[in-house]
Amino acid sequence: MAAVVVDNAPIIDLHDVVKQYGSGESAIFALDGVSLAIYPGEYVAIMGASGSGKSTLMNVIGALDIPSSGEYYLDGIDMASLDENQLAIVRGRKIGFIFQSFNLIPRTSALANVELPLAYQGIKIKERRIRALKALDLVGLSDRLTHEPTELSGGQQQRVAVARALVTKPALLLADEPTGALDSKSTADLLDLFDLVNAAGRTVVLITHEADVADRAKRTIRMRDGKIIEDTAKVLA
């Protein structure tokens, strides 16, 4: 259980987290006592078959779901102590989400989609526009600002999603099967983008079941039946 040694506090710190559905005999443990620490600047891939609990883990890390028991500190904040509104604020400020199905707001331009998290943070329109343009520039979509999701290819939509995730300057980029719906060319582009983001110092956690995608990460965590069964750090070349 070796981790890349980074000499400051973990950004994600899970202690014996359990997520349980149902109770008694019929109880199903989606997470069965997971303890995990991820440090700033890491690039972590979480792998596992479907039903292994990796999506639940991601939801818990992303503050979308609340664990049944155990402790979770995100950037030092005890998530159990937050109410729904505070969780929304934490999600908005600390985490950038990327989903398999892109999850852009339909019938809304790329630019407006990227501006949206800033709007919810109460950032002024002018600054919002500047930051959104910058984020879209970073993902190479400066020429698609007014396009709506249906007018963009899958790869482009996912890059808009990445821009939206990055525009808030989150501590953590959380990607759930981000390449699941992409062709190989788009996948390669996206993974290059992740490398770039990680190289800039941002923590990236991605969930995948594709080995070649996981290969790009510096640390790979394997899950089965709600438990972490393997946690390997790639030897830096």
Partner 1 sequence: MNFFEMVRFAVRGLVANRLRSALTTLGILIGVGSVIILVAVGNGSSKQIQDNIAKLGTNTITVMRGGGGFGARAQSRNTQGKPLTVGDAVQLSDKKSAPNVKQAAPVSNATSVCTNGSSSTTPASFIGTWPSYFEAKNTKVVKGTYFTNDDVTEGRRVAVIGKTTASDLFGEENPIGKVMRCGGIPFSIVGLTETAGSNGFLDGDSLIISPITAVQRALTGYGNISSIVVQAKSAKVQDQAQIEIESILDKSHGISNVNSRDYRLLNQASLLATTTSTTKVFTVLLGAVAAISLLVGGIGITNIMLVTVVERTREIGIRKAIGARRRAILGQFLIEATILSLVGGILGVLVGFIGSNFMIVGVKPVIVPSSVFLAFGVSVFIGLFFGGYPASRAASLRPIEALRYE
How many of the chain's residues bind partner 1 (CB under 8 A)? Answer: 28
Token pair belonging to 129: 């526009």
Instruction: Please choose, out of 29-37, 92-100, 149-157, 219-227, the segment that lies near partner 1 by the rule CB under 8 A.
Output: 92-100
Q: Quick one: how far is CA 99 from the chain centroid?
A: 8
End-to-end alpha carbon distance in the chain: 20
Task: List the one residue from 11, 31, 110, 116 that touches partner 1 (CB under 8 A).
Answer: 116
- Binding to partner 1 by residue 154, rule CB under 8 A? no
CA distance 36 to 230: 11
49 makes contact with partner 1 (CB under 8 A): no
- Residue 104 near residue 165 (C-beta atoms within 8 A): no
- The minimum distance between CB 138 and partner 1, in angstroms, equals 17
Closer to partner 1 by CB, 203 or 220: give it: 203
Task: Please name the amino acid found at residue 53.
Answer: G
Nearest to 207 by CA among 180, 168, 234, 167: 180
Rule CB under 8 A: is residue 104 a binding residue for partner 1? Answer: yes
Q: Decide if residue 107 touches partner 1 (CB under 8 A).
A: yes
- Which regions of 59-188 does DSSP assign to beta strands (E)? 69-74, 77-78, 95-98, 172-176
Distances (CA, A) of 20 to 27, 29, 60: 7, 5, 12
For partner 1, the binding residue among 99, 110, 135, 160 (CB under 8 A) is: 99
Least distance CB 25 / partner 1 (angstroms): 25
- The smaller minimum CB distance to partner 1, of residues 178 and 219, is found at 178
Q: Which two tokens stand for residue 116?
A: 């949206």
Instruction: List residues binding partner 1 (CB under 8 A).
Output: 59, 62, 64-65, 84-85, 88-89, 91-93, 97, 99, 103-108, 112, 116-117, 119-122, 164, 168
